[in-house]
Amino acid sequence: MKTDLTVNGRTYGIDVEPRTTLLDALRDGCGLKGTHAGCEHGVCGACTVIVDGEAVRSCLMLAVQSDGLDITTIEGVAPERGELDVIQDSFCETHGMQCGYCTPGMVLAAKALLGVNREPTDEEIRDAISGNICRCTGYGQIVEAIRLAAKRLRESNALAMEAGE
């Protein structure tokens, strides 16, 4: 079946079997390997992407269901090639990753949270990543990373407002 996916602002025309998950379509059809395949049946959160502003598991959507939706993957998070987004940078700063397998999913879950809540409590941060499993870093530093990212986003907004932007 032919389907058009809109990923990180770009349209990819792909031809897939109906049973192809959005995860496989992103990785194999669009060549965006940053979205990680973990369990491939909805348990681990490694495949998390943002669809229309909300974090979703790309292994639990079919590619043929996803046309016309606004999809953001980890490749679409940084402002420029070679740069890091505030959230990614905060993960580096607080050692919020070791092997990095869960990291794209964690970053996108965090991004979805910070898109609607600039002042999340630790409880809210934990809730936002409750569907994401990390097997090595430990959740403490991941929560710390998201807390730091939220703080930086608030501060940069305050600076922008002072500058009259």
Paired sense of beta strands 70-72 and 2-7, if any: parallel
Helix (H) or strand (E) holding 5: strand 2-7
Query: Interacting stretch for another protein, rule CB under 8 A, among 76-84, 86-94, 127-135, 148-156?
Result: 127-135
User: Using the rule CB under 8 A, which residue among 4, 10, 15, 17 binds another protein?
Assistant: 17
Among 5, 7, 20, 44, binds another protein (CB under 8 A): 20
Shortest Cβ 80–ligand FES spacing (Å): 25
44, 50, 71, 145: which one binds ligand FES (CB under 6 A): 44
Q: Look up residue 67 and give its amino acid.
A: D
Check residue 27 for interaction with ligand FES (CB under 6 A): no
Q: Which residues contact 98 (CB under 8 A, 6 or more apart)?
A: 136, 137
Residue 70: which H helix or E strand, with range?
strand 70-72
Give the rounded distance of the alpha carbon of 126 from its chain centre.
15
142 neighbors 134 (Cβ within 8 angstroms):
yes
Instruction: Candidates 100, 124, 155, 160: give the one binding ligand FES (CB under 6 A).
Output: 100
By CB under 6 A, residue 20 contacts ligand FES: no
Judged by the rule CB under 6 A, the positions of this chain that interact with ligand FES are 37-40, 42-47, 57, 59, 97-103, 134-137
